[in-house]
Structure 1
Amino acid sequence: MIVCAKCGERSAGTTRFCPGCGSFLDWSGTDAEQQATAAPTAQPAAVVESARVAAPVGPSGVVTPDPIGPQQSAEPPTPPTPTSPGPPTPTSPGPPTQFGAQQPADARPLRAKAQGAEPRVLAEDDLICVGCRTRNPVTRKLCMGCGRPLDEPEPVKPPWWKWWRGGDRERKPRKPRRRGTLAAVWRWIRRVFLAILAVLAVLYGIIPGFRSSVNKEITDGRKWVERQFGTQLTPVRPTKVTATAATPGHEAVLVADNAKNTYWAAPTGATEPVLVFTFAQPVDLRRAIVRVGDPAAFQATHRPAKLHLVYSTGKTFDVPLADTPDPQTVEIGGSAGATQVEIHVVEVHRSLQGLDVAMSEIELFEQR
């Protein structure tokens, strides 16, 4: 049994914190057996002290004076013998005073562990501490293992979205709001800009015409930046041009002869027409100029509407085309390291008269 020195509460020998005041019993606790044995041993010392102070009593009941007291009081004190002054005795200097850090004081002593204490019988209604998971009797208010209040709720783990947003981190104090005319004008301009940006985003999402105009402006701006600051593009010529199909007089080589009055034509049927360009060395194609249809009779043949490029490296790229007799500049990519490219005509603009698909010219440019 352990007795708390602060409040006197008694606890079991295995308890580390007082259930009454919460004190750490390893510092403030005392064994009950030690308290019981300490009281009798202190009584003889008090009796001896009182007997020494009291005067002895004689046989006739008269108090006998202390024989030593009168003799000491009767004899006058002997005056000290004067000594002649001599030469001063040299004194050796002592060790110098040590400055700096001091050694730490001894740690506070801990009470001895209880010997032979029987383990407490666990019960079903024990209170489990949320800090150290120690089982405590239902009558306790503080944990006997760590001194934590037993009525403290267990912390709830925050949801994943709070953890992802950093909800458990300490929030930084907000900066004081700036005052003055300039700060107010700047806040107003910023709010107006954000409002305009939000309106434009809504219009871009719900109005197709506005979205197309914005995309065109962005594309034109990107092309202008590439022309101004990008790497110069140079024309690249294929060393061999073949096709899976061609009408007589309009072979595949005519699509790469740089002539404006010739064209390649192929019948449209169950299989899509395919052009194959072969290069002498690996290329990195970035741009193409395409002319579709028959230059002399534009409505006499079908015109390609979409080209599907397949490179020898395994990568592919799709190129949409407009239905116009004018040359079209299109951006292509994904061909770095390719030595051959297949041009599949997967979609066509239908003609009013002809049955074949025609393409007048394809000029390719690579990045150096």
Structure 2
Amino acid sequence: MIVCQSCGEHNAPNAEFCGHCDDFLKWTGTPAQTGAVRPDTRQQVLHHRPQQTERRQAQPGDLICGQCGSGNVPARRFCGVCGHSLVDAAVRERPWWKRWLPAKGPKVRQGGSRPRRTSGAARVRHGIGLAIRWVLALAVLLFAALYGFSHPFRSSVNTQVVAAKDVVAGVFVDNPVPVRQSAISATRELPDHPARLAMDNDKGTFWAAQTDPGTTALTIQFDHVTDLRRMIVHIGDPKKYLGSQRPQRLTLVFDTGKTHDVTLTDVPDPQEHAIRNGDGVRQVQVLVAGVFPSTESTDTAIAEIELFEKQVK
């Protein structure tokens, strides 16, 4: 190691300038011996092993040496371990989540800087900003907890998200118009609640069937080729909503060979969903792929299904 004669700082053997005070490093070795030396005279050679400067654990704001990877305080211009220039050294950034936390310990300032006086208004603004950040963080945690553990809250959020998605999707397509079916049938139905009640424009009636998810379905036919764009679904028994099972997921199977899945929420309100892959169809099968269970009945009820097609210009 080369010891700086100005500040006494240890530097690497190949360093030209002190990493602490930037002073030029002069070689301070022992001058070579001059004059004749007897052959039988054995001199004791002392090998000096320079003391290795310990690597500094990189801290936020430190300059990372591009040669040895050690951390250096921002005031240094050369690495304290290998003497490499720190002109192009990368600065270690503080993790994003730590930026929300108040700083601990004394504030480190650069050399030559002078602390500014903080006015009362600035302190108030800083306090308000810090309070807002904590409120936002707590709100995010509360929202995540409610969404994870509260089923009604999760269903409400999903409904709002799906509705917003459908509104955005509707901006890029033509305004759909209602389409009427030419025929409707079901693989299963109760005697008092046949398949036709699912599309009779009466929200007080409903189609119901003993549920076997994956096989219970409605088959809807049209008298012309249509491009389906949207559907509105009313699930459950309108008079006793929790008295029967409600569809949780519907799979639309088109006669073109394409399909589209619709995820429903467990609410009695009408649910509007966009339809994909519904171009050029004359028949669609609405398959009950999953249900919301009921403690009173194993029958699944759908009050109304409304279909909309692309408007023909």
TM-score by length of 2: 0.47
- Larger Rg computed on CA atoms: 1
Higher relative contact order (CA 8 A, sep 6+): 2
Higher helix proportion, which one? 1
